[in-house]
Amino acid sequence: MVLADLEARKRATPDAVSALEDAMSSRTWWAEQWPEGEMYVAGLVAQDVQDALLETVGRWPLCLGCPGPEHALYIQPDLGGPDPVWVCEETGQTVAPLGSLAG
Ligand SMILES: [Zn+2]
């Protein structure tokens, strides 16, 4: 799902994919320790990749729906799940479910 959203915004660079793989391996370990946490994993991985990209190439994913200064989307619920969606940080409006930015 995270990869689909990276591709949707042309950000599936080798660095981003490598950040995604790192996030997945650490969150997989985490979910193994706490199986009930599985529903949070996808959203947490998205947040990890978002943090990694912020340090290198900048904000991802950007909100395309609003006028005005460039701003990002963030994952709601903040815990990463269940049913993570991208929300505009300015308006608080839901933009798309995680994995569906292209749609
Ligand atoms: Zn917005």
Residue 66 C-alpha to ligand 1 middle, in angstroms?
4
Q: What average pLDDT score do residues 2-30 get?
A: 96
Task: Report CA(59)–ligand 1 centroid distance (Å).
Answer: 13
DSSP 8-state code for residue 62: B
Ligand 1 center–CA 92 separation, angstroms: 8
CA of 18 to the centre of ligand 1 (A): 27
pTM of the model: 0.93
Q: What is the pLDDT of residues 58-90, one digit of tens each?
A: 999 999 999 989 999 999 999 999 999 999 999
Report the C-alpha gap between 1 and 100 in whole angstroms. 8
d(CA 103, CA 97) in angstroms, rounded, equals 10
Distance from Cα 41 to the centre of ligand 1, integer Å: 25
